[in-house]
Structures are given as C-alpha cells and as structure tokens.
Structure 1
Amino acid sequence: MSNHSVLDAGPADGPAEPAGPAPKHSFFERLYTGTGGFEIVGRRRFYYALSLALVVIALLSIVLRGFTLGIDFAGGTRIQLPASGDMDTSQVEQAYNEALGHDPVTVQKVGSGASAAFEIRSDTLDAAQQDKVQTALFDAFHPKDSSGTVTRNSISIAEISETWGGEITRKAIIALVVFVALTMIYIAIRFERDMSVAAIASLFFNLIVTAGIYSIVGFEVTPAAVIGLLTILGYVLYDNVVVFDKVEENTRGVLHLTRRTYGEQANLAANQTLMRSINTTVIGILPIIGMLVIAVWLLGVGTLKDLALVQLVGMIVGAYSSIFFAVPILVSIKERFGPVAAHTRKVLAKRANAGSARIGEAAAERAGAASGMARQQRPPGSGAPRPGARPSGKRQKRRH
C-alpha cells in the first residue's frame, strides 16, 4: 500500500475546494452594504487623537483669537444705503474709507430688486463722523428713497449701544445653556447611562469644534449664527439617536454569545449607519448650499449667510462625531468595567485558545506532510535493508 501525504485528497473526500483568498469588495460596496469592513472601533485611538487635536485647536483659537462679534453683540453703527445701478461692495468701502480714513467692519448687500441695499457695519461713530459718511455716500452714489426721489435722507444710520449688545449676548448664552441642559435631560432619559455619557460628549465636541471653526475662519457671530448653532445641536442629537438605536439592536443579547464582542457588534452598527449618516448629511447640506448660492450670491440676501454657514459647518462636524467619536467612546466606557468588560475578556481568551489549537494542528499537518513526501521521494535500494530481508540477486550469484 503506497503512502500518501495528508495534502492528497482521496476519492472519499470528494473534490477539493480551492483555498483561495476571500473575495475583496470595493470601498463603495463596503460603504453601501455596511458589512463592517471599516474598522471604526478597532482604530478608536486614531479617532481619539484626531478628535482631541480638533478640540485643542478649536479651544486655542477661541482663547487666543476670540470671535468676530456682529454689531448686535459688540455694538456699533449700522448704515443702510439703497443700491442703485452697478454699485458693488468695493465702491461702498472706498467711499467710506475716503470719508473717515479707515475701512468699515463689514459691507454686505441685502435684499434684491427695488428693496436692495448695502448694509455697512462699523465701530461706534459720533455725530460728526456720521454726517461725514452720509455726505460722502450721497455724493458718490446719489441714492433714491422708496418714492424714487434722490435725497440724502435715504441713507439711514442707526446706533447700537454696547449695553444693547451685552444684553443680546447674555440672552444668547442663556438660550444656549437652556437648550443644552434640556438636550442632556432628554438623552439621559432616552438612552442608558453609558450611551447618555457618549451622546453628551459628542454634543459638546460638536459645539466646541463648530465654534472653533468660526473663530479660526473669522466668520461673524450674529443672532442668526446662534440660532443656526442651536438647530445644529438638534441635528447632532437626531444622528446620535439613529446610531445608538442600531448599536442597541446589534448588541441585544450579545452577553449570552461568545462569537463576537460588544465592540465588534458596535463597530458593525456604526458601519451599517455610516451610509445613512452620509446620505442624511448630504441631503441636509444641499438646501444649505442652495441657500448660499441662490440667496446670498445671486439674490444678495447677505443676512442668510450667517445662518447657512453655521449649519453647513455644524452638520459636517456632527456627522463625524456621531459615528467616529460617540460610538468609540461608548465602547471604551463599556469595556472598562462591568459585564461587557468580562464578556470581552472571555471572548478574546476563547479566541486565543482556539487560535493556538489551530496553530498546533497546522504544525502537525505540515510535519506529517513533510514526512510522507520524504518517504515517497526515497530512491529504490537506498539506505539500510529492512530486518529479515533476503539478499539481493547479485549477492546470491557471487556465493555460487
């Protein structure tokens, strides 16, 4: 009976299946199907480092640079000049500069058609400065009032005191604090304790980073921007609810199984909701981009710019924080102590033991295969004769 190596498949074993590599899926296929192909929880240290860097940069900018406060918060003088002909913001800035020797804080076009006007925001001007600016703007553009009459009184000037700006600031901060507090209460009721902590951390992350981007870029903070920020916090809460609902569904009963850990199930949930979050974000920012393009640039409604900018920035940051920040934090909290931590250690230990057993079996198979192949490749008549073997024909002939 000939010897066969264990690599040879006998007829009773049936046809051998090819041991090729697992099929590879493209990036977009894994993204669309949510098959768990992206290591979000497994690479949480990287996302923690990235998130920490964003928070540190945002806080440094807020502390060192501060914010560009609008006239409603900082106080100052607002001048409204009716638009006519081919006027643009650079011409208005030049006329203002020639009158006072310095540029205004901002100049933007508001409204469209017959109601279009240029809104000039500057530091607080005294009566003499206001008169000089009004005269310079009238001489340069000869604006008309609503009745079509060219008159200097068509240029309106309003002064906003610092006291009024401080009151507006105080009310905005109160509104922000109340909103955040109510959101935290809802999260604490809606989710379990650990999910509540992760969702609140995601909420503050989004708030700090969005405010930091406003500080870095120098966007003007207006009441519209504050309203937009409150709206964005609501969007972040909605995104967290969607993601954590899927995590809760995937991890239900995981402690009674030993095939996957809590973190792996949470990672699968993050993958399954990743495409949904991207779709929601894209659908959400399309109207905002439309607002910026149509309302601000084409129609010249500059007052909508502040609302659109904070929503655009906040929705992008919120989509990142709900997947790549909130879910890893939740898993880290779960795996530090309690039944989830014990279950994770149990699953990993069982997996390690199974891996060691498979390695031992593979080594034994390789050793057996090598031994069988060596016996098959031994040339005839080589080596010592077997015990009890008869002499070869040549030796018997020599004896005779």
Structure 2
Amino acid sequence: MRLKLVRENTSVDFFSKARIWLGISLVMMVVALGSFLIQGLAFGIDFQGGTSIRTQSETALDIGEYRNALVPLELGDVSITEVNDPSFAENQHVAMIRIQAQEGDERIASDTIEAIQAALVDVDPTITFQQIESVGPKVSGELINTAILAVTLAVAAILLYIWMRFEWQFAVGAVLALVHDVLLTIGIFSELQIKFDLAIIAALLTIVGYSINDTVIVFDRVRENLRKYKKKDLKEVLNLSINETLSRTLMTSLTTLIALISLFVLGGDVIRGFVFAMIWGVVIGTYSSIFVASAILLVLGVKRDWSKKDPAAGTRYAHIDN
C-alpha cells in the first residue's frame, strides 16, 4: 500500500489566478528589497568583522555586570545577548558576546582576547569559553565579495544550463524564480534581523539547487507534453504537467521539511539560522516552481513546432508517491 498525497488524475487549475500569484510574489519581492535597503542585514562576524565569544556559566547571567567588566578595555561597540534554548540544562547559561573589529587591526590581537577572558572570569568564576571567532575588517570585506560572486555565478551557471537543455523562455522563467527565492530569503532575514553569516550563504546556494531541481522536473514534463499534445493550449499543458508531477513535488518537500523542522527544534541555536533559511527556502522554492516559474513561461510563451519526439523526456519523475 502506497501513501498518496495527491489522488491520481488530479486536475487543479493552477493558472486560474496566475496574475494574482505573480502579483503576490511581486509585492513580497518589493517588501523584501525595501527591508534590505532600509534596515539592511544583521551581518555576523564573518561579514562585519570583529570577535564573537560564546560563553557558558553555571550561574544566572547578569549582562550588566558583563558589560561593566568590559568597559575599561575600551573595545568600542559590544553586544551581549543571552542564548535561550529548550535543550539547555537548568544550570546551563549561555551568552553570545560580539565585539566590533578594532580599527587598524587586520586580526584581533590575542592579548585583547586574553584581557576579555580575564575580565569576565573576575565577574563569574564559573564561566567557560565555548567558542571564539575573530575576523579582521579586510577579511570580512573579502568574504562579502566572495559570497556575492558565489551566488551570482551559481545563478548564471543555472541560466546557461537551462538555456542549453530547454528553450530560452524556460531559462528566463527558471532564473527569475531563483531570483525570487533568493531575494525573499534575504528579505526575511532582513525583516527579522536574524544573524546573516557564511552559513546562510551556504543555505542560499542549497536553496538555489533545491528550487532548480523542482523547476527542472516540472519543465521536463512540460516539454514532453508539448510534444505529446501539439494542439492543446499552453495553459492546459502547463496545468497538466504540474498536476502530473505534484505528488512528487509535495512528497519531496514534506519529507525534507520533516527533517529540517526536527533539526530546528532539537539541533540547538548554533545551526538554527541555517536550518531556518533552509525551511523557508524549501517552502518558497516549492511555491516558485509551481506558481512563479511556470507562470512566467505562460507569459513568455514557447514555440510548439518541435518535430523530433523524445520518448524518454520527463518519464523519470512522473507519479512518484514513495
């Protein structure tokens, strides 16, 4: 007995409100871009430069005492936040201390880190230092440029791949859907001011791969059905293709989300930002492969005069229910 998320021969009309879906996506993209331009991203140490110290103590935290202990060191902007996690023990009190990059220093001096540790130990003898990360201003700037280049090259490579495998209309639809996914992910991080670091860049690249996989499977079936139903309207062919691959799309998304939600709840705060980005990306990627990429293809149109038949196209991904 197989689990079926979608009944056979389903015929949902995904394009009856195509303009509404595109309008919603456009509004979300404008809001995301506006949030990014107005309040920016909460860059982590990777991109901002500075020192990040993760501490753990057996006694309750007093952020005021921590801050007062660091004032004589004249470190500049210091941010101290308590980390709360349901998985922590009752006597496990964790804090994250972020210190801005010191002007003129490529790296945070080791004696400065030692002075910070000594000052905090004086306040709380039970304190331990779980993690210390330091990034200089020059390195952080290079990381920003490299991250932008990595995402741009990934999208450009996908554009080239889709263009070679399909028609140019398919490539435009797929890449615009990817831009939609990346922009909305950056927007949610800007809106919620969640820490944005190299782990999130890794999540963005993973989201790009996940989203394009869904889109290519739908487009593969569209190409097959365009050859098979030469007289059907493009809108009907798109609806048919999405319905035929809907079971596979939902099954893949739901099983992926089950694993990601488990990691989000049980994995601890260290990977929570990365996992949140992945959860958001899976939801948005599934939405865009159905409503955005195909809707753009419908608007652009596609030629219908393919003479050669490709019996293998699209047959690998139909009606996958397990």
Counterpart of 1:123 (choices 71, 87, 100) is 100
Q: Which residue of 1 aligns with 2:270?
A: 303
Preserved contact between residue 77 and residue 125 of structure 1 (Cα < 8 Å): no
1:327/1:179 Cα in 2 relative to 1: closer, same or farther (>3 Å)? same
CA distance in structure 2 between the partners assigned to 1:176 and 1:235 by the alignment: 14
Preserved contact between residue 169 and residue 301 of structure 2 (Cα < 8 Å): yes
Code of the aligned partner of 2:259: P
CA distance in structure 2 between the partners assigned to 1:132 and 1:236 by the alignment: 47
Q: Which residue of 2 aligns with 1:85?
A: 58
Code of the aligned partner of 1:321: S
Aligned residues: CA RMSD? 3.3
Identity of aligned residues (%): 30
Q: Offset of 1:42 from its aligned partner?
A: 2.5
Counterpart of 1:202 (choices 165, 168, 177) is 177
CA distance in structure 2 between the partners assigned to 1:136 and 1:244 by the alignment: 60
Q: Which structure has the larger Rg?
A: 1
CA distance in structure 2 between the partners assigned to 1:155 and 1:223 by the alignment: 20
Code of the aligned partner of 2:282: M
Q: Which residue of 2 aligns with 1:395?
A: none
Q: Which residue of 2 aligns with 1:274?
A: 246
Alignment of 1:116-155 (within 5 A): 118-124=95-101, 133-143=116-126
Is 1:59 matched with 2:33?
yes
Q: Which residue of 2 aligns with 1:188?
A: 163
Counterpart of 1:320 (choices 276, 284, 287) is 287
Code of the aligned partner of 2:23: A
SS in 2 for 1:77: strand
CA distance in structure 2 between the partners assigned to 1:197 and 1:158 by the alignment: 41
Q: Offset of 1:276 from its aligned partner?
A: 2.3
CA distance in structure 2 between the partners assigned to 1:69 and 1:135 by the alignment: 27
Q: Offset of 1:50 from its aligned partner?
A: 0.8
1:248/1:186 Cα in 2 relative to 1: closer, same or farther (>3 Å)? same
SS in 1 for 2:97: strand
Code of the aligned partner of 2:293: A
Preserved contact between residue 69 and residue 123 of structure 2 (Cα < 8 Å): no
Q: Which residue of 2 aligns with 1:216?
A: 191
Q: Offset of 1:329 from its aligned partner?
A: 1.2
Code of the aligned partner of 1:200: V
CA distance in structure 1 between the partners assigned to 2:242 and 2:286 by the alignment: 12
CA distance in structure 1 between the partners assigned to 2:170 and 2:88 by the alignment: 48
Q: Point out which structure has higher relative CO (alpha carbons under 8 A, 6+ apart).
A: 2
1:144/1:63 Cα in 2 relative to 1: closer, same or farther (>3 Å)? closer
Q: Offset of 1:129 from its aligned partner?
A: 8.6
How many residues in Structure 1 have an aligned counterpart in Structure 2?
288
Preserved contact between residue 281 and residue 319 of structure 1 (Cα < 8 Å): yes
Alignment of 1:286-297 (within 5 A): 286-296=258-268
Q: Offset of 1:239 from its aligned partner?
A: 0.4
Preserved contact between residue 29 and residue 183 of structure 2 (Cα < 8 Å): yes
Q: Please, which runs of 5 or more residues in structure 2 have no aligned partner?
A: 72-76, 104-108, 306-322
What are the superposed Cα offsets for residues 147-183 of structure 1, whole Å, 9 maximum, x if unpaired? xxxxxxx698664321121111122122222222222
SS in 1 for 2:294: helix
Q: Offset of 1:106 from its aligned partner?
A: 4.7
Q: Which residue of 2 aligns with 1:334?
A: 301
Q: Offset of 1:32 from its aligned partner?
A: 3.2
What are the superposed Cα offsets for residues 106-138 of structure 1, whole Å, 9 maximum, x if unpaired? 55489999xx97542232469999787545521
Q: Which residue of 1 aligns with 2:140?
A: 165
CA distance in structure 2 between the partners assigned to 1:171 and 1:240 by the alignment: 27
Q: Which residue of 2 aligns with 1:252?
A: 227
Q: Which residue of 2 aligns with 1:41?
A: 15
1:315/1:211 Cα in 2 relative to 1: closer, same or farther (>3 Å)? same
Preserved contact between residue 202 and residue 322 of structure 1 (Cα < 8 Å): yes
CA distance in structure 1 between the partners assigned to 2:137 and 2:239 by the alignment: 51
Is 1:95 matched with 2:65?
yes
Q: Offset of 1:34 from its aligned partner?
A: 5.0
Instruction: Write 1 or 2 for the structure with the bigger share of helix.
Output: 1
Code of the aligned partner of 2:296: I
What are the superposed Cα offsets for residues 168-216 of structure 1, whole Å, 9 maximum, x if unpaired? 1122122222222222111112222221111111111111111111111
1:156/1:69 Cα in 2 relative to 1: closer, same or farther (>3 Å)? closer
1:193/1:163 Cα in 2 relative to 1: closer, same or farther (>3 Å)? same
Preserved contact between residue 134 and residue 155 of structure 1 (Cα < 8 Å): no
What are the superposed Cα offsets for residues 352-385 of structure 1, whole Å, 9 maximum, x if unpaired? xxxxxxxxxxxxxxxxxxxxxxxxxxxxxxxxxx
Code of the aligned partner of 2:121: F
Higher deviation after alignment, 214-223 or 170-179: 170-179
Preserved contact between residue 5 and residue 251 of structure 2 (Cα < 8 Å): no
Give TM-score, length-normalised by structure 2: 0.78
CA distance in structure 1 between the partners assigned to 2:70 and 2:279 by the alignment: 36
Q: Offset of 1:253 from its aligned partner?
A: 3.4
1:130/1:94 Cα in 2 relative to 1: closer, same or farther (>3 Å)? farther
SS in 2 for 1:32: coil
Preserved contact between residue 222 and residue 306 of structure 1 (Cα < 8 Å): no
1:202/1:140 Cα in 2 relative to 1: closer, same or farther (>3 Å)? same
Give TM-score, length-normalised by structure 1: 0.63
What are the superposed Cα offsets for residues 220-245 of structure 1, whole Å, 9 maximum, x if unpaired? 11111101110110001100111112
Code of the aligned partner of 1:93: I
Higher deviation after alignment, 40-49 or 223-232: 40-49
Q: Offset of 1:314 from its aligned partner?
A: 0.9
Preserved contact between residue 121 and residue 127 of structure 2 (Cα < 8 Å): no
